[in-house]
Structure 1
Amino acid sequence: MIFNYFKIAWRGLRNNTIFSVINITGLAAGAGVVMLIGMWIYDELHFNRYHKNYEHIAQVMRHSTSNDEISTRESMPIPLRDALGNKYQDEFKHIVLATPVADHILAFADQKFTVKGRFMEPATPEMLSFEMLRGSSAGLKNLSSIMLSESLSKTLFSDRDPVGKTLMIDNKMEAIVTGVYKDLPYNSRFRDLAFVAPWQLHLSNNESAQKAQQNWGRNSFEIYVEIAGNAQIASINDKIRNIVRDHTDPKLAEMRKPEVFLYPMSRWHLHSEWKNGVNVGGRIQFVWFFGTIAGFVLLLACINFMNLSTARSEKRAKEVGIRKVVGSARSQLMKQFFSESILLATIGFVFALILVEFTLPFFNELADKRMSLMWSEPWFWITGLGFTLFTGLIAGSYPALYLSSFRPIKVLRGTVHLGRFAATPRKALVILQFTVSTSLIIGTMVVHNQIQFAKDRPVGYNRDGLLIIPMSTPETHKHYESIRSELLETGVVIDVAASQNPTTEVWDTRNGFIWSGDDSNRETRFATMAVTHEYGKTVGWKFSAGRDFSKDFSTDLSTSLVLNAAAAKEMGFENPIGQSVWWGGGGDELKIIGVIDDMLMTSPYDPVEPTIFYLNYDNANFINVKIDPAAGAHDALARIGNVFKKYNPSAPFDYKFAEQEYALKFAGEERIGKLTNVFTALAIFISCLGIFGLASFIAEQRTREIGIRKILGASVFSLWKLLSRDFVWLVLISCLIAIPVSNYLLGQWLLKYQYRTEMGWWIFAIASAGALTITLLTVSFQAIKAAVVHPARSLKVE
């Protein structure tokens, strides 16, 4: 019996080609979108789950108060690690002190590569579930050791066994390879960990880390823990909350209110945003957002099926009547209609699999993922088939319930006006379709405007032709002045300067500043940046008051500061030039010599941080090179590279353009925007398929009417208006619903950005006009096609 249902359903699909193609295409597109979004959501929800101790791993973080606001940071002081281990050793299985992930130069023989790595304590491989391919996971217990990822090992040694080989790290640390671990998956925070070296190796070769060993105020490192099996993070947090406060000067502790806590790995990825000490979400918002889009896209495809099925009801009415007369029960008819919808959903699912397989590489690149269809996983097929059955039941529910309810006597007598009965629910579903589509159009426009608004924000310096080159080896520090001189002699460089951090980042923020006239009882945090004399000229910062650092003033090197406008405002100076500042609550008196326009160095969506610039050649970590605009980039880079190779032959010439680094700040929002564009386009496509199908059936139903109207003198334009009018009204109603809904939801989304665009009326007008235009273009094809048919052909059946 069931086979017969599907056999009849297949025969019906073949006999109604347009209906079948439209529905299968819509269901395939809808299922494909749901599948892609489902895979994306699955990947997001399973981020970091590769690590076997996922539920027990946490990062030590801290809240602290500055500028009347609670900030949340990952950077920790070194002595906190031992304090946790000594006082609360029963609570932890592992405690790992680590440097932040950074670029380092690895050299073996004549091979040199810049790769990302960390210096971490010996418990790292066990805590992070390293899968060792060669060597031992205990290798980090050796001071002069290093562990390589599988891909880095192949790059350096091909298929040879690297264990026992000696590498050079940053031209100053020798390390023996003690193990090779399998590359960590792309959906892990530690995915770019190309190597791990012992923390003690970093400590023994880094003077700054040595000085910070007993300094509770130097927050430059990261601490990860694995809690003991019977411990609870909440109870541990109660115990360790004041551990930093207890080691801070009471007066400072009262102002800063430092609070230490463990943040579980399960929340790192999706709940990473903090505001005033409260977790306000993160990527979890996009999980809900795309999940909602997936649901609506599937709903649009199901609506198409329902609408087209009910539109065809007049053709199938006699079929239903005859079936009932010969003894078919309503339940049997419902099974027949459900069989048709499930068959369509199954065919759509097959095409969706093909569609996803071909588009997945593009989607992975767009979404920054490494996903693949899990053909061999039973749960994938169970989920897929369950999804297909669910879609078929949803899509076929209304037709099955509606068509099977026809009374045979009225149907066979022709007294049932089926089209009118079906018109209202069809119209409601069309309104729902275009409400969703119009809302998505508005959403894509607002996301684009927000990104463009931030891109157009003044940055306070000139990024064009600005190179950022890390001083990653002792040679670059030692020969800085010679490198600078020879770069200027190349003829392709305007100026050169060194700085503590890139122009696109802030690495160091400090408390403890006192300035003349400061009578507040709060402590203010300032970003601080060490630079060399020529930095301002190199990056092109602009002065609103005072002057730049100059070698003509010997005191500049030890007592002068340059502030950005935000810092001058924070200090409350009407005329900041010549005012005194004391760093650290005492020490030498420093003088403000200049105020520059705000340089945008952090998020383009947030206010500029109050920043203090000072001269310090020892803290320089990057060389900034301004290329002459008249020089060709290829020739300029070759000449600049030759200078670095001369003074630093053992390291690769590694550089980045400030323009490219700044562009990366928009990568997350742009990626979400592009994904939204794709899904919006597919949603509109599915809606247009439904409109196209409905228009074709309505045109077919009104064939005789159109013929008569043409005989009476109706023009093609008037007939086009007649057939398009109903759809236009439906779209206008959907726009009236979509506008307030979108305005509220997108307004809430924009609140997460302090520097944000406004939603002007023109956005809603353009989106509505776009939806209306798309509808008219879709309907016009069928409307004009029906209107130009010769009336003799329309009336020949009479």
Structure 2
Amino acid sequence: MFKNYLKIAWRNLWKNKGYTIINVGGLALGMAVTLIIGLWILDELSYNSYFKNKDKIAQVFQSQTFNGETGTGPAIPRPLEKGLRDGYSDNFKHLIMCSWTNNHYLKYGDKSISRPGNYMQQVGPELFGLEIIKGEKDGLREINSIMLSESTANALFGNEDPIGKTVTVSNEHKLNVSSVYKDIPVNNSFNDTDFIIPWEKYLANNEWIRNAEDQWGNNSFQMFVQISDNTSFEKITNTIKDVKKNLNPDSSEFNPQLFLFPMEDWYLRSSFENGKQNGGRIKYVWLFGIIGAFVLLLACINFMNLSTARSEKRGKEVGIRKSIGSQRGQLIYQFLSESFLVVLFAFFLAMLLVVLSLNGFNELSKKEITFPWDNGIFWLISLAFILFTSLLAGSYPALYLSSFKPVDVLKGTFKSGKYAGLPRKILVVVQFTVSVAFIIGTVIVMQQINHAKNRPVGYDKEGLIQIPTFSQDFVGKYDLMRSEFLGSNAVVEMSTSSSPTTQIWSNRSGFTWEGKPEGFQEDLAWTEVSSEYAKSLNLKILEGRDFSREFATDSLGVLINESAKKYLGLENPVGMLLKDDNDEDPGPPLKIIGVVQDMITQSPYEPVKQGVYVYDRQNNASYYNLRLNPNESASKNIVTIERVFKEHFPDIPFEYEFIDSEYGQKFASEERIGTLSGVFTALAILISCLGLFGLTSFVAEQRKKEIGVRKVLGASIFNVWNMLSKDFLKLVIISCFIAVPIAYFIMNGWLQEYPYRVILKWWIFALAMVGAMLVTILTVSFQAIKAAKANPVKSLRTE
């Protein structure tokens, strides 16, 4: 029986090739979009799946309150380790201290490379379940050991066995390779950790870290834990949340609250607002999930519309089958079989489209998604997906067509009824409501990105590069290198800084100043710079003066930004003193010598943070900042800079970053989301237009005799075009008026997440409405004009 259904279905599809192509093509496009979105969502949800103990691993976070505003992050003080080990060790299977991931120079023989890595305590590799390929599992047991990722080992040693070989790190210390571990896949935390060095080596090499053992105010470290089997993150959080306050009462003024942040939330739910978790990338998972569902719905609507529109042509078939004994259930099965066949063809075509477009999609989304050919679960889900789509697309046509009365159909008295076309009209309205809402949403997303991009950054990022200086080789050589670079004619100014231009690496509190409000809890971004910092960045001095080599007292000088002036409540800040009120490591008073223009160093969607720029007295430079000679090409300047660099640092890889490119990375995530939304919106519109094209074609064919009569009676091409187009245009106008308030409500809520945001303007909605109407007119006009230009003799001579 099922075989017969498929045969009949195939004959009907083959007989009406034009409608079959539109149906299969529209469904295939919709299913391809849904499939590729599904693969993207699966990749997002499977983040950190490499770690076998993912559900037991967490990072220790803390929230602190400054003047009523609570900030949350992973930075914790070093004494917390002892506090948790001594009083709460039963809650943890493993607990490790870890450095931040930073680039270091690795050298073996004549080969020198730069790679990111971490210092970890001994059980770190076991906690994260690293897959050891060569060497010891306990690779951090010896203080002078180093563990390398497989790709790093290959880059350094080629075909040589790396175990036991000596690697020089940042030209400072020699370490023996104890283990090689498999590279952590891209869609996982620590995927950029290419080497691991024992924590004990970190302590031995850095006096400030050893001194931080009792410094509760020095939040410069991070800690990871694997909890015991018989407990939970919530239970431990409730136990340890006040540990810092209990062990260090002096910190109570900031109300520090500790909690465990589970690994499963690191990627998708990493956003916090005022101490509370408030989402993160999970919103994009929901967004694209909704887009995929709606795109599939649009494709299914096309199928429903065309199937029901052609119902009268199949009315006699239904009447005959019923008159010879077919039950309604059998007819429903038949029409669902046709639906299944269309969906099956569409699915295979969709898979082909996905495979062909996957490389481009990966490039666009910065993913490494592969088609899961060998995944049994995927094929089971696909089968369910096909059956679900078959039911969704075929249920209404099956129920509608099978309800025809055979007597009325065979006698020719069957009338489709005054409201028979109403469901089709409703479906067209739904299609274009979704499409117009997508258009508005995409335009607003891109508007928000451009709004932030056009925001003044406060400095001149064009022609500015930074060179990392993560080695003791650079210490004490700043004046020499500045002289060499300026003398090369490739650089017009140079400075150093303790953090990159586009980030804040350090924050400080514990200062007093004249007029400080009682109970005020300051939180200042802290950057140590050389005296030429403002000149190299073309940073504008608004009050006072810049650092100067002519004034020895400038070693205790400080520049503050505009936000800091307002934040600290200073009307005339130049000449005022900032006194360090830190009991653990008090420093000399700092004199404010100038106020500089605000510069964006963090998110361009957020207000500029209050910051201070302090003269670097202790050689804490992490970057050289070089202003390129604008009279020469950038490529020529870079070649010259590299030559000078290699003359003085022959064993260190030459690396540099253009600041404008680094700043551009701040928009990368939103731009990818906006671009993907634009692509999916275009496909949604295309699918809607396919359906509209098919419906117009059918209506033109259905009314060809009427059109012939009208033309014989003198109707013009415009009259015929107007007759066929106006009904569809009315439906799209209705869609626009439904879509606009929906899109406004959703996008206005989305924009509330950004303190620095675009204002919704009427022309965005008007543009989307006009665009939808133009697309409708173009789509309908092709068939309408074709019908209007047809020879009326051909349509009337059969009478």
TM superposition score category, shorter chain reference: over 0.9
Paired residue for 2:494? 496
CA-CA distance at 1:235 after TM superposition? 1.9
Deviations 1:628-652 (A, max 9, x none): 1111111100111111111111111
Q: Distance in 1 between matches of 2:80 and 2:474?
A: 33
1:669 partner SS: helix
CA-CA distance at 1:524 after TM superposition? 1.3
Paired residue for 1:428? 426
2:455 partner SS: coil
| 1:476 and 1:647 in contact (8 A); partners too | no
Paired residue for 1:418? 416
Paired residue for 1:549? 547
Report whether the alignment pairs 1:682 with 2:683.
yes
Report whether the alignment pairs 1:710 with 2:711.
yes
Q: Distance in 2 between matches of 1:304 and 1:160?
A: 61
Paired residue for 1:347? 345
Report whether the alignment pairs 1:390 with 2:388.
yes
Deviations 1:568-623 (A, max 9, x none): 00111222222222123575333211111111100000000000111014221110
Q: Distance in 1 between matches of 2:349 and 2:111?
A: 48
What one-letter code is carried by the residue in structure 1 that aligns with 2:790?
V
Deviations 1:498-555 (A, max 9, x none): 0111110001111112111112313010101100000000001112211111112211
Paired residue for 1:636? 637
Q: Distance in 2 between matches of 1:202 and 1:59?
A: 20
What one-letter code is carried by the residue in structure 1 that aligns with 2:415?
H
What one-letter code is carried by the residue in structure 2 that aligns with 1:118?
N
1:767 partner SS: helix
TM-score normalised by structure 1 residue count: 0.98
Q: Distance in 1 between matches of 2:264 and 2:256?
A: 24
CA-CA distance at 1:459 after TM superposition? 0.7
Q: After the TM superposition, which of the residue ranges 513-522 and 5-14 deviates more from structure 2?
A: 513-522
Paired residue for 2:558? 561
What one-letter code is carried by the residue in structure 2 that aligns with 1:569?
K
Q: After the TM superposition, which of the residue ranges 613-622 and 343-352 deviates more from structure 2?
A: 613-622
Q: Distance in 1 between matches of 2:2 and 2:755?
A: 60
CA-CA distance at 1:247 after TM superposition? 3.7
2:552 partner SS: coil
Paired residue for 1:476? 474
Paired residue for 2:41? 41
CA-CA distance at 1:719 after TM superposition? 1.2
Q: Distance in 1 between matches of 2:478 and 2:595?
A: 27
What one-letter code is carried by the residue in structure 2 that aligns with 1:243?
V
CA-CA distance at 1:249 after TM superposition? 4.8
Q: Distance in 1 between matches of 2:565 and 2:249?
A: 27
Paired residue for 1:196? 196
Paired residue for 1:335? 333
Q: Distance in 1 between matches of 2:424 and 2:521?
A: 64
Paired residue for 2:692? 691
Deviations 1:263-303 (A, max 9, x none): 11111111100000010100111111111111101100110
1:444 paired residue among 442, 445, 461 = 442
Paired residue for 1:66? 66
Q: After the TM superposition, which of the residue ranges 187-196 and 341-350 deviates more from structure 2?
A: 187-196
Q: Distance in 2 between matches of 1:587 and 1:101?
A: 28
Deviations 1:691-740 (A, max 9, x none): 00000000001101111111121111121111110111111111111100
Paired residue for 1:16? 16
Paired residue for 1:226? 226
1:276-355 correspondence runs (5 A)? 276-355=274-353
CA-CA distance at 1:38 after TM superposition? 0.9
Q: Distance in 2 between matches of 1:789 and 1:330?
A: 40
1:225 partner SS: strand
Q: Distance in 1 between matches of 2:68 and 2:487?
A: 49
2:579 partner SS: strand
Q: After the TM superposition, which of the residue ranges 452-461 and 136-145 deviates more from structure 2?
A: 136-145
CA-CA distance at 1:2 after TM superposition? 0.3
1:6-405 correspondence runs (5 A)? 6-250=6-250, 253-405=251-403
1:84 partner SS: helix
CA-CA distance at 1:208 after TM superposition? 2.7
CA-CA distance at 1:793 after TM superposition? 1.5
Q: Distance in 2 between matches of 1:394 and 1:219?
A: 56
Unaligned 5+ runs, structure 2? none
| 1:6 and 1:339 in contact (8 A); partners too | yes
Q: After the TM superposition, which of the residue ranges 630-639 and 515-524 deviates more from structure 2?
A: 515-524
Change (3 A) 1:254 1:131: closer
What one-letter code is carried by the residue in structure 2 that aligns with 1:485?
S
Q: Distance in 2 between matches of 1:244 and 1:620?
A: 31
Report whether the alignment pairs 1:570 with 2:567.
yes
CA-CA distance at 1:377 after TM superposition? 1.5
CA-CA distance at 1:214 after TM superposition? 2.2
Paired residue for 2:749? 748
Paired residue for 2:533? 535
2:579 paired residue among 578, 582, 589 = 582
What one-letter code is carried by the residue in structure 2 that aligns with 1:510?
R
Deviations 1:422-448 (A, max 9, x none): 310000000000010000000110000
Deviations 1:316-364 (A, max 9, x none): 1111111111211111110110000000000011011111111111111
What one-letter code is carried by the residue in structure 2 that aligns with 1:572?
G
Paired residue for 2:463? 465
CA-CA distance at 1:421 after TM superposition? 4.3
Root-mean-square deviation (CA), in Å? 1.2
CA-CA distance at 1:15 after TM superposition? 0.5
Paired residue for 2:646? 645
2:531 partner SS: coil
What one-letter code is carried by the residue in structure 1 that aligns with 2:785?
I
Q: Distance in 1 between matches of 2:179 and 2:591?
A: 53
What one-letter code is carried by the residue in structure 1 that aligns with 2:572?
N
CA-CA distance at 1:481 after TM superposition? 1.3
Deviations 1:34-55 (A, max 9, x none): 1111111111112112211111
Q: Distance in 1 between matches of 2:76 and 2:108?
A: 33
2:696 partner SS: helix
Q: Distance in 1 between matches of 2:553 and 2:249?
A: 32
Unaligned 5+ runs, structure 1? none
Q: Distance in 2 between matches of 1:435 and 1:132?
A: 54
| 2:696 and 2:784 in contact (8 A); partners too | yes
Q: Distance in 1 between matches of 2:316 and 2:581?
A: 90
Q: Distance in 1 between matches of 2:111 and 2:82?
A: 38
| 1:148 and 1:196 in contact (8 A); partners too | yes
What one-letter code is carried by the residue in structure 1 that aligns with 2:236?
I
| 2:83 and 2:247 in contact (8 A); partners too | no
TM-score normalised by structure 2 residue count: 0.98
| 1:577 and 1:593 in contact (8 A); partners too | yes
CA-CA distance at 1:68 after TM superposition? 2.4
CA-CA distance at 1:420 after TM superposition? 4.4
CA-CA distance at 1:137 after TM superposition? 1.6
1:533 partner SS: coil
Change (3 A) 1:217 1:516: same
Q: Distance in 1 between matches of 2:516 and 2:232?
A: 44
Q: After the TM superposition, which of the residue ranges 771-780 and 416-425 deviates more from structure 2?
A: 416-425
Q: Distance in 2 between matches of 1:285 and 1:244?
A: 33
Q: Distance in 2 between matches of 1:368 and 1:420?
A: 53
Deviations 1:432-479 (A, max 9, x none): 000100000001100000000000001110001101111111112232
Q: Distance in 1 between matches of 2:798 and 2:483?
A: 93
| 1:68 and 1:522 in contact (8 A); partners too | no
| 2:544 and 2:593 in contact (8 A); partners too | yes
Q: Distance in 2 between matches of 1:45 and 1:363?
A: 18
Q: Distance in 1 between matches of 2:315 and 2:6?
A: 20
